[in-house]
């Protein structure tokens, strides 16, 4: 089983990201990942995330979104975690604006592995105390460390 901290890095765990709109946030996600992984093109990442959102919002409720997609040229799962400075409307199922986003990009030939990763992310965000800890994180390292601690049962 893949653990979330193996596909997330402190450099892709960002706090106080300016919101603006759903599209703007997805653009920022794409540029963060492309900056970290130069083999991936930010425009393709963005377009893939937008295409997935058109199938149905990844707004999960409780201020959480889990944007995810299959990505051409992606060889293994990659994630990013963003805490927005201002929540944005994400067409979430409960109508609440989103301020925490856990992004998951998986290879085009994705397997059950990516469903397992989505399940791990969703179950982590299902816990109110985890959402509170993530929202209290003041910097990239503490945001990332919260995920590591939660995965380790701390």
Q: Which of 12, 22, 68, 83 is catalytic?
A: 68
**Per-residue H/E/C for the chain:** CCCHHHCCCHHHEEEEECCCCHHHHHHHHHHHHHHHCCCCCHHHHHHHHHHHHHHCCCEEECCEECCEEEECCCCCCEEEEEEEEEEECCCCCCCCCEEEEEEEEEECCCCHHHHHHHHHHHHHHCCHHHHHHHHHCCCHHHHHHHHHHHHCCC
114 is catalytic: no
- Catalytic positions, written as ranges: 68
């Amino acid at each position: 089983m893949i653990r979330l901290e193996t596909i997330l890095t402190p450099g892709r765990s960002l706090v106080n990201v300016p919101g603006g709109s759903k599209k703007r946030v997805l653009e920022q996600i794409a540029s963060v990942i492309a900056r970290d992984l130069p083999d991936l093109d930010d425009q393709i990442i963005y377009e893939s995330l937008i295409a997935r959102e058109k199938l149905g919002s990844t707004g999960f409720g409780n201020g959480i979104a889990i944007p995810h997609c299959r990505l051409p040229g992606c060889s293994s799962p990659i994630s990013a975690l963003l805490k927005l400075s201002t929540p944005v409307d994400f067409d979430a199922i409960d109508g609440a604006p989103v301020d925490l986003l856990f992004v998951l990009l998986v290879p085009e030939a994705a397997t059950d592995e990516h469903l397992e990763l989505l399940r791990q992310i969703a179950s982590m965000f299902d816990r109110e105390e985890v959402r509170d800890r993530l929202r209290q994180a003041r910097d990239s390292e503490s945001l990332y460390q919260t995920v590591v601690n939660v995965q380790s049962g701390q």
